[in-house]
Amino acid sequence: MDKLISDQAEGLRRLLAKSGSRVIAVTGGTASVGCTTTVVNLAAALAQQGKDVLVIDECLGARSVGAALGGLRGAGNIAAVVRGEMHLDDAAARHALGFSVLTASRSDREGHSSAQLDVLLHGSADIVLIDAQLDPQGHLSPLAILAHDVMIVTRVAAQAITDAYACMKRLHYAHALAQFRVLVNHVLSVEDAHTAFANLAGVAGRYLAVALEDAGCIAADVRTARAQELSRCVVDAFPSTPAARDFRHLAAELQYWPMRPAMSSQTRWMAPATVTAAQHADQPSAQHA
């Protein structure tokens, strides 16, 4: 009987998870914490678990998803999708690992309304991962602000934690975000990750009244770097390693995160003057992290 109840509960969770595309924007305090690596490995792990995944790549150049995968052709033209001239599935490039990639440069993302950009997030994909590029002020793009969740990637190092706090502070004041998920990358132990998260959550709750949720951690693994050298991801190249297992665990867990309304439906953009005033009013900032 317990087995039957468990199977029924699992079936219900899966049914609820299919109620629409889950959109997650992934970013961090600095480029060195591994946001793009996280997006690529997470996409590969989700695809292995039978999910239809779309990666929207806002970061161009050497740190782009395409570069991490050794190059992708035809992963663009979001303007044609927004204008209704091309179907989303036709505009995105299909990678051999089973997920699709759509390049969204800053110029492609500008000049469109939220309703127009929303088309990019309501295709056939179960999960949309946005490798979010913050603007010079540290704010999300009009596309990334449509996500249901923002996941901040950080590391255990003190500077990385400080940078993550500063990133959340800017996003909080720019977009009135009150909640973030935190993934601690490149950790030597789960205990270190828990300590880093607890410290960050305490500071964010005290000085920003922002709630953090623990997205888990990814083990430090030399094969992650080796996979990058091979223009592959660790989930695909070295599936038995600790980092690959952690990415698969995260992929399985995030499918059952509570589905919140898109951030754009519960927040609004603050004027630059308002943002500046709010930031100056909150001086304890990152040094306490």
- pLDDT the model gives residue 5: 46
- pLDDT the model gives residue 263: 62
Two tokens at 189? 């132990």
Q: Which residue has the higher pLDDT, 78 or 211?
A: 211
Sign of the Cα torsion 126, 146, 134, 110 reads: positive
Cα–Cα–Cα angle for 88, 252, 180, rounded to 5 degrees: 75
3 state DSSP class of 126: coil
Alpha-carbon distances, residue 44 vs 68, 77, 155, 228 (angstroms): 13, 23, 22, 14
- pLDDT the model gives residue 84: 81
Question: Residue 282 pairs with which residues in a beta bridge?
Answer: none
The pairing of beta strand 22-28 with beta strand 53-57: unpaired
- pLDDT the model gives residue 36: 93
pLDDT one-digit tens code per residue, 128-186: 999 999 999 999 999 999 999 999 999 999 999 999 999 999 999 999 999 999 999 99
Distance of CA 33 to the CA centre of its chain: 13
Measured in Å, how far apart are the chain's first and last C-alpha atoms? 48
* Mean pLDDT, rounded, for 204-214: 95
- pLDDT the model gives residue 73: 63
pLDDT averaged over every residue in the chain? 83
* Mean pLDDT, rounded, for 221-248: 96
CA distance 129 to 38: 10
Residues with Cβ < 8 Å from 112, sequence gap 6 or more? 82, 142
* Mean pLDDT, rounded, for 272-276: 38
- pLDDT the model gives residue 271: 37
CA distance 29 to 169: 10
- pLDDT the model gives residue 269: 38
- pLDDT the model gives residue 75: 63
pLDDT one-digit tens code per residue, 46-71: 999 999 999 999 987 777 787 778 76
pLDDT one-digit tens code per residue, 6-15: 444 444 444 4
Alpha-carbon distances, residue 62 vs 54, 70, 279 (angstroms): 20, 10, 32
Q: Widest CA span of the chain, in angstroms?
A: 61
Is residue 185 within 8 Å of 218, Cβ to Cβ? yes
CA distance 47 to 241: 18
- pLDDT the model gives residue 110: 75
Go through the domains of the chain in sequence order and give each one's CATH number: 20-288 (3.40.50.300)
* Mean pLDDT, rounded, for 227-234: 93
Two tokens at 161? 């934690």
* Mean pLDDT, rounded, for 93-98: 89
